[in-house]
């Protein structure tokens, strides 16, 4: 017996399969990665201005890790599970 949760069904029905920008169809994950990259650029600029990056061992690897974390957080918000 499978229990149906109305709220979950409503959230899943609103998840876009693809986004249309003009005549181009884009997967939602691409936009999530772009938003994650922009947020990471802003966060890296803040970290550089406050000189907190001096505690970082390898800044490019840290940037990549932040990009993945920001993309994952935005993806959980933007694309319904």
As a dihedral over the C-alpha atoms of residue 41, residue 43, residue 44, residue 45, rounded to 10 degrees, the angle is 90
How does pLDDT run across 20-67, given as a tens digit for each residue? 778 888 888 888 999 999 999 999 999 999 999 999 999 999 999 999
DSSP E strands in the chain: the ranges are 19-21, 24-26
The tokens of 39 are what? 């947020």
pLDDT recorded at residue 69: 96
Instruction: Note the pTM of the prediction, 2 decimals.
Output: 0.72
| First-last CA distance in the chain | 22
Helix or strand or coil: residue 27? coil
């Amino acid at each position: 017996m499978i229990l149906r949760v109305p709220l979950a069904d409503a959230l899943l029905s609103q998840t876009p399969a693809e986004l249309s920008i003009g005549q181009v169809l884009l997967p939602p994950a691409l936009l999530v990665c772009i938003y994650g990259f922009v947020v990471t650029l802003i966060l890296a600029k803040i970290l550089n201005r406050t000189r907190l990056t001096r505690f970082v061992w390898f800044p490019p690897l840290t940037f990549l890790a932040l990009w993945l974390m920001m993309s994952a957080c935005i993806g959980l918000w933007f694309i319904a599970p």
